[in-house]
Amino acid sequence: MKKMYIFNGKFSNELPQIPLNRSTYFGESFFTSFLVKNSFVLNVNAHLLRLQSSLDLFYPNLEKIDKDNVLNLLKRHIPKEGSFKVRITCFTNFEMNELNSLIEISALNKNNPSPIKAITKKFGHYDELDCTNIKLGQYAWENFYLRSNPHYDILRLSEDDSIRDLTKSNIIFFNGQEFVLPLANVLQGSSLKMFKELQGQKIIERVVYYDELAEFEAAYSINAVRLIQSISQIDEIKFSIKDSDEFIKTFKKYVDKVSKEL
């Protein structure tokens, strides 16, 4: 199956021509991504509400996302069988009075996802903005790098070298006994919140600095599409690969159990 697109409600098998907008020029966009597996999806309403809350923060007078229309479009165009990544990106025109939405649907490999690698980049503190309930769009150079390097992600650092998050996921580390979640001004996604509930007291949340990374045994990317995925390397620092660990299997089984039909 080729990648499918729905731009402002219109379906296409090819990437549609999108007019120039604030996302193109300023990287000003908001997105959410999630997994649809055999017509079942987890927390889709939470994803759409979070996307709307992000838009409300920046554009309070803009038209609202038509949630029912989005769900109907997904039901109509996503095949009944298979696993698919759905990414919804919202952005405005230059006058900030028109909402644009691009839905991208792509089939996922049935096999377990391969471990990823990451490079680091400093992005500052974002102290002036509460990022705990919004997911900012990627910069143009990030998009270009990630499209050219599909098995990589970018680990964002603050100016003091503390760990923030990955561009596409949350990140969590394992020290041999406990999971360590970087405490930062970032959005904790729905999959991470679910993982925290399952692990309970085995998770420590604290500030993590770049020079600590070599002390961890393993690192994981957590998001709503790939769920949990091993990270084999960050810059020159290498980690153990533990894809077969029981906690990964348990987490994926639990997600299947609580997912609901579109």
The string of DSSP codes covering 92-157 is E-TTS--EEEEEEEEE--SSPPPPEEEEEEE----TTS--TT--BPPPHHHHHHHHH-TTEEEEEE
Q: How many residues does the chain have?
A: 262
The whole-number pLDDT of residue 189 equals 86
pTM for the model? 0.78
The whole-number pLDDT of residue 122 equals 83
pLDDT(136) > 60: no
The whole-number pLDDT of residue 34 equals 93
Select the more confidently predicted residue: 140 or 10. Answer: 10
The whole-number pLDDT of residue 132 equals 63
Select the more confidently predicted residue: 188 or 204. Answer: 204
Chain region(s) in the chain for CATH 3.30.470.10? 4-107
Q: pLDDT grade, residue 211 (50/70/90)?
A: very high
**If you average pLDDT over every residue of the chain, what do you get?**
86
| Cα torsion 200, 202, 207, 208: sign | negative
pLDDT(184) > 60: yes
Give yes or no for a contact between 85 and 120, defined as CB atoms under 8 angstroms apart. Answer: no
Highest mean pLDDT among 133-137, 188-192, 202-206: 202-206
The whole-number pLDDT of residue 103 equals 96
| Cα torsion 109, 110, 113, 114: sign | negative
The whole-number pLDDT of residue 109 equals 79
**What topology is assigned to 4-107 in CATH?**
D-amino Acid Aminotransferase; Chain A, domain 1 (3.30.470)
The CATH number corresponding to 116-261 among 3.40.190.10, 3.80.30.20, 3.20.10.10, 1.10.10.1100 equals 3.20.10.10
User: How far, in Å, are 39, 102, 149, 227 from residue 42 at the CA level?
Assistant: 10, 20, 28, 11
**Share above pLDDT 90 across residues of the chain, in percent, rounded to a whole number:** 49
223 secondary structure, DSSP code: E
98: which 2 tokens?
């028109």
pLDDT(145) > 90: no
Q: pLDDT grade, residue 95 (50/70/90)?
A: confident
Select the more confidently predicted residue: 245 or 176. Answer: 176
The whole-number pLDDT of residue 167 equals 84
The whole-number pLDDT of residue 179 equals 94
Q: pLDDT grade, residue 77 (50/70/90)?
A: very high
> Per-residue pLDDT averaged across 216-226, rounded?
93
CA 127/CA 186 separation, integer angstroms: 11
Instruction: Give the distance between the most distant pair of CA atoms in the chain.
Output: 52
The whole-number pLDDT of residue 243 equals 61
CA 62/CA 50 separation, integer angstroms: 15
Chain region(s) in the chain for CATH 3.20.10.10? 116-261
